[in-house]
Amino acid sequence: MPARAQDTTLRGMPVIRDAEIEQLMRDYAQPILRAAGLAQQNVRVVVLSDRSFNAFVMDGRHIFINAGALFDAKTPNEIIGVFAHETGHLAGGHLQRLREQLASAQTASIVALLAGIGAAVAGARSGAAGDIGAAAIMAPQQAIMRSLLSYVRTQEDQADHAGVKFLNATGQSPRGMVELFKRLSNEVLFNSRYIDPYMQTHPMPADRVAALETLAKASPYWDHRDSPELQLRHDMMRAKLSGFMERADTVARRYPQSDHSMPARYARAISTYRNAGLQQAIVQIDGLIQTQPHNPYFYELKGQALLEGGHAAEAVAPLRQAAQLSHSTPLIEIMLAQALNSSNNPKLAEEAVSLLRNAVVREPDTPDAYSQLAMAYSRKGDLANADLASAQAAFARGDLKTARQLAARAKTRLPIGSPAWVRADDIVNVKPPNIKAGAQ
Ligand SMILES: [Zn+2]
């Protein structure tokens, strides 16, 4: 996983946390969300550690996208197009309305049907895929299925329309969205055995793609291209995902030594640190830093390689640089605090505490931040606050039982009524329905 800080999950889904990728996702999504009038709703893009192509919304607060989709998209515009479509679902309140439809269908197992919808729609175009669709559908349920299917189709058309509108409003081309959807629908035609999750949740028959294309080509921005700067950031992200997620020989094939571009050097440096020697990796990372001395993520990578290689004290300087250049990005500050904690220097524990107290305000659901905070407090000999931070770590992981036990112990050590005591008391008294909200 790119983000070493987090081996984390959201509702059981494996999440990739990485400062560089998350910043890029924000820069892709924010203009679209603003155009949709959703700027105030704090919608976050969450990157899932999954190689297949998928993007979806499940609530009003997150847009989920698989690392596989980021990796497959050749241009920023394709991903921005996906976000525009998903934002169309959010802005249209589709989730809520689909839930109402499902409730009125009064069939507990109806949700299972949804998985078959994409295959069934695709099957209308291709005999082989049709078999898959047919197999997924039980005959008695076909009537409900048909009505839900047409309902989902309507939502997809609406999301396409809204997506193009948001892209136009932000002066961006809808071309990436059209090309991506075309590519996905062709994949189903030519390879009926493999149906991407995105196809299942976003049925994409030919007439839908054709309607989208007509609408999109009328856009005055059809020929607009991503800026070279944004394209480079996109290519760097794909290189990072390759370096972290792919085997060394695959990375070497994709980014051969003869390729001297920044993305190729980035992918190779990451792959070297993961698969070969630390020394060799540091040489490559220093080369990157020399070429772009103001890129915070190169210093972050250097710090990460040193920290994981057992050189915590040496990791502090590059991580400080990364934190400063990235304007105190919480994920980087959490890693810096980890390096400070691991340096076996009690004087540094104070600095770790202040970094982490800031980080948890902006990243309140990150268990690692609380675990590091607990360690920093215990280095300082502050056992009461160490207990409270451990309780918060357990709470963020969703382990309510441990969280309550630790919070109860923290309470016995904290001044009654102090802010820390109140936080501990909140955890002791939390009721299960609140946990979900708190742990998201
Ligand atoms: Zn959709």
Ligand 1 center to 202 CA (angstroms): 5
Residue 81 CA to ligand 1 centre (angstroms): 11
**Does 76 have pLDDT greater than 60?**
yes
CA of residue 86 to ligand 1 center, whole Å: 6
Range name among 103-112, 124-133, 178-187, 252-261 with the lowest pLDDT average = 124-133
Question: What is the CA(156)–ligand 1 centre distance, in A?
Answer: 5
pLDDT at residue 440 tops 90:
no
Q: How far is the CA of 162 from the centre of ligand 1 (A)?
A: 11
For residue 154, report the distance from its CA to the centre of ligand 1, in Å: 10
Tell me, what's the pLDDT at 35? 97
**Looking at residue 133, what is its pLDDT?**
43
Ligand 1 centroid, distance to 366 Cα (angstroms): 29
Compute the distance from residue 84 Cα to the ligand 1 centre, in Å: 10
Confidence of residue 343 (pLDDT cuts 50, 70, 90): confident
Range of weakest confidence among 34-43, 57-66, 250-259, 401-410? 57-66
pLDDT grade for 150, boundaries at 50, 70 and 90: confident
251-296 pLDDT, tens digit each: 999 999 999 999 999 999 999 999 989 999 999 999 999 999 999 9
Query: Is the per-residue pLDDT at 188 higher than 80?
Result: no
Confidence at residue 228, expressed as pLDDT on a 0 to 100 scale: 97
Distance 33 CA to ligand 1 centre (A): 16
Report whether pLDDT(439) > 60: no
pLDDT tens-place string over residues 347-370? 899 999 999 999 999 988 889 999
Mean pLDDT of the chain: 85
| Distance (Å) from CA 200 to ligand 1 centroid | 10
**46 or 114, higher pLDDT:** 46
196 CA to middle of ligand 1, Å?
A: 13
pLDDT in tens, 380-430: 999 999 999 999 999 998 899 999 999 999 999 999 999 999 999 999 998
**Residue with tokens 């800031």, as numbered in its chain:** 358
Mean pLDDT score, 137-152: 62
| Mean pLDDT for the stretch of residues 75-104 | 86
Q: 22-26, 54-58, 255-259, 401-405: lowest mean pLDDT where?
A: 54-58
**400-413 and 383-397 are packed helices; what angle lies between their axes, rounded to 10 degrees?**
160
- Interval between CA 55 and ligand 1 midpoint (Å): 9
Could you tell me the CA-to-CA distances from 23 to 27, 75, 205, 224 in Å, in that order? 6, 16, 34, 23
Alpha helices in 137-261 (DSSP H): 142-169, 175-190, 197-201, 206-217, 228-245, 248-254
State the DSSP string of 350-390: HHHHHHHHHHHHH-TT-HHHHHHHHHHHHHHT-HHHHHHHH
In the reported structure, the alpha carbon of residue 184 is separated from the centroid of ligand 1 by a whole-number distance in angstroms of: 13
User: How remote is the CA of residue 246 from the centroid of ligand 1, in Å?
Assistant: 29
10: helix, strand or coil: strand
Backbone angles phi, psi at 238, to 5 degrees: -65, -40
Ligand 1: distance of its center to the CA of 144 in Å?
20
Above 50 in pLDDT, residue 372?
Answer: yes
Distance 204 CA to ligand 1 centre (A): 9
Ligand 1 center to residue 240 CA distance, Å? 28
- Give the per-residue pLDDT at 154: 84
CA of 22 to the centre of ligand 1 (A): 22
Q: What is the pLDDT of residue 52?
A: 84
Length of the chain: 440
Beta bridge partners of 65: 47, 55
Counting residues of the chain whose pLDDT is more than 90, the rounded percentage is 64
The rounded Å distance from CA 6 to ligand 1 centre is 29
Specify the pLDDT at position 100: 74
Distance 224 CA to ligand 1 centre (A): 24
Ligand 1 mean position, distance from CA 219 (Å)? 20
The Å distance, Cα 382 to ligand 1 centre, comes to 51
- Please give the span between the terminal C-alpha atoms of the chain, in angstroms, as a whole number: 20
